[in-house]
């Protein structure tokens, strides 16, 4: 029995629950992107002229609302039959028609996932005696989504959403704890990185990885981060600090950016001043999140692979054949873009980060 040495995976489109083979046939370019901030987006470009069913003459396609129309639900799956995966599920938000002399007309569709509803809802609201998990749950229920939250943090006396969209406000709350925001089906997720279950995957340069750039940069590393404030109820100064101890749990092996910075240039302390904590619990959680944000961004890798539909944000990566400094496990995927065109087929672009480099050989 022989097996195929090459499998060409074309995207499969479903619009309002119906498979639409015409979109697969006429597809020129596809771009589906997501990141840890949430709001997955889709952009598709199609040939917009051809024969319609039962007619001989070519006509302009997709402009009658029969297949593509504003607000219609669209899903995209890609991959070989035994490994096909839905990479996008959302709603059409824009249609664009392009004409160029000597070329066939093209239509572009743009779509966003269910976080679009949060992006388009702006409000002023006060949340009292709630932590960030409670706030995320309340926002999810406002939009008919099931909250899936796991981001422990302090309880606040009062938090105000001042003329912000629900998505912008949720992202701001996530930033304070270094949590990720995303949707999957009818659920809204708000979880810190250590509580997000991401698929583990190994990528090998020269095999899976077609192109890659890796960089370890001390520019934004700090040996510690401090935050200060005043607790009016207890009449005492708030002064919290987080350093290398908070980062050690992120490292499986090698040297962290915090460690290297201290040995190469000495102590470098950052003071966080954007937020003013009113209790020590707030300060401790915020300062820990800030040192983690900086430490996690020490090593940045961007790459292009052959089509990997299972490569998603939140995944855990092991990279091989990247040299002793950048090879190994511990990478966290922060951004993914699935693309498809007629020349390259399915490609997956990714960005990942980790807090440490490997030892020199």
DSSP track, 170-209: HHHHHHHHTEEEEEETTEEEEEEGGG----EEEEEBTTTE
pLDDT per residue over 19-67, tens digit each? 999 999 999 999 999 999 999 999 999 999 987 666 667 789 999 999 9
Would you list the domain boundaries of the chain? 12-112, 117-192, 200-217+299-357, 224-292
Taking the CB of residue 5, how many other CB atoms lie within 10 A of it? 5
pLDDT tens for each residue of 231-286: 888 889 999 999 999 999 889 889 999 999 999 999 999 998 888 889 999 999 99
Two tokens at 86? 């839905």
The DSSP bridge partners found for residue 138 are none
Backbone angles phi, psi at 2, to 5 degrees: -100, 155
Give which of 130, 127, 131 is closest to 166, Cα–Cα.
127
Nearest-angstrom CA–CA distance, 193 and 313: 11
DSSP code, position 54: T
| Partner residues linked to 230 by β-bridges | 237
Quickly list H helices, the chain: 21-26, 115-119, 132-142, 166-177, 244-247, 257-265, 280-296, 323-326
**pLDDT band of 349, cuts 50, 70, 90:** very high
- 3-class secondary structure, 101: coil
Number of helical (H) and strand (E) elements in the chain, helices listed first: 8, 25
- Within 8 A by CB and 6+ apart from 14, the residues are 20, 74, 75, 76, 77
Closest CA to 351 of 339, 340, 337: 337
Residues 93-143 have pLDDT tens digits of 999 999 999 889 999 999 999 999 999 999 999 999 999 999 999 999 999
Nearest to 69 by CA among 39, 91, 89, 47: 91
The span from the CA of 66 to the CA of 60, in Å, is: 13
Share of the chain above pLDDT 70, in %: 96
> Rounded distance, CA 308 to CA 86, Å?
12
Distance CA 156, CA 134 (A): 10
Does pTM surpass 0.85?
yes
Q: Give me the CATH topology for the region 117-192.
A: Phage tail protein beta-alpha-beta fold (3.55.50)
DSSP three-state, residue 118: helix
């Amino acid at each position: 029995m022989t097996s195929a040495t090459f499998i060409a995976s074309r995207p499969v489109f479903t619009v309002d629950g119906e498979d639409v083979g015409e979109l697969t046939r006429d597809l020129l370019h596809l771009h589906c992107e997501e990141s840890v901030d949430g709001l997955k987006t889709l952009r598709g470009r199609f040939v917009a002229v051809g024969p319609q069913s039962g007619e001989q003459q070519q006509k302009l396609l997709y402009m009658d609302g029969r297949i593509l129309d504003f607000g219609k639900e669209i899903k995209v799956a890609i991959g070989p039959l035994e490994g096909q995966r839905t990479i996008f599920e959302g709603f059409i938000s824009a249609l664009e028609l392009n004409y160029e002399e000597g070329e066939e007309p093209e239509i572009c569709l743009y779509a966003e996932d269910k976080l679009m509803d949060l992006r388009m809802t702006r409000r002023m609201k006060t949340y009292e005696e709630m932590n960030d998990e409670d706030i995320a749950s309340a926002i999810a229920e406002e939009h008919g989504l099931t909250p899936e939250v796991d981001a422990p943090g302090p309880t606040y006396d009062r938090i105000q959403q001042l003329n912000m969209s629900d998505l912008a406000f949720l992202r701001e709350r996530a930033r304070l704890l270094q949590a990720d925001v995303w949707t999957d089906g009818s659920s809204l997720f708000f979880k810190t990185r250590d509580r997000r279950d991401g698929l583990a995957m190994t990528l090998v340069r020269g095999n899976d990885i077609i192109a890659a750039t890796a960089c370890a940069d001390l520019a934004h590393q700090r040996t510690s981060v401090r935050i200060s404030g005043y607790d009016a109820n207890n009449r005492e100064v708030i002064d919290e600090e987080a350093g290398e101890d908070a980062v050690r749990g992120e490292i499986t092996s090698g040297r962290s950016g915090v460690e290297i910075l201290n040995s190469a240039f000495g102590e470098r302390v950052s003071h966080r001043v954007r937020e003013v904590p009113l209790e020590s619990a707030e300060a401790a959680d915020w300062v820990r999140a800030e040192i983690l944000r900086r430490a996690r961004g020490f090593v940045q890798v961007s790459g292009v692979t052959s089509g990997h539909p299972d490569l998603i944000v939140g995944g855990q990566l092991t990279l091989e054949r990247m040299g002793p400094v950048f090879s190994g496990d511990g990478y966290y995927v922060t951004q993914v873009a699935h693309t498809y065109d007629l020349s390259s087929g399915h490609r997956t672009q990714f960005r990942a980060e980790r807090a440490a480099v490997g030892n020199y050989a």
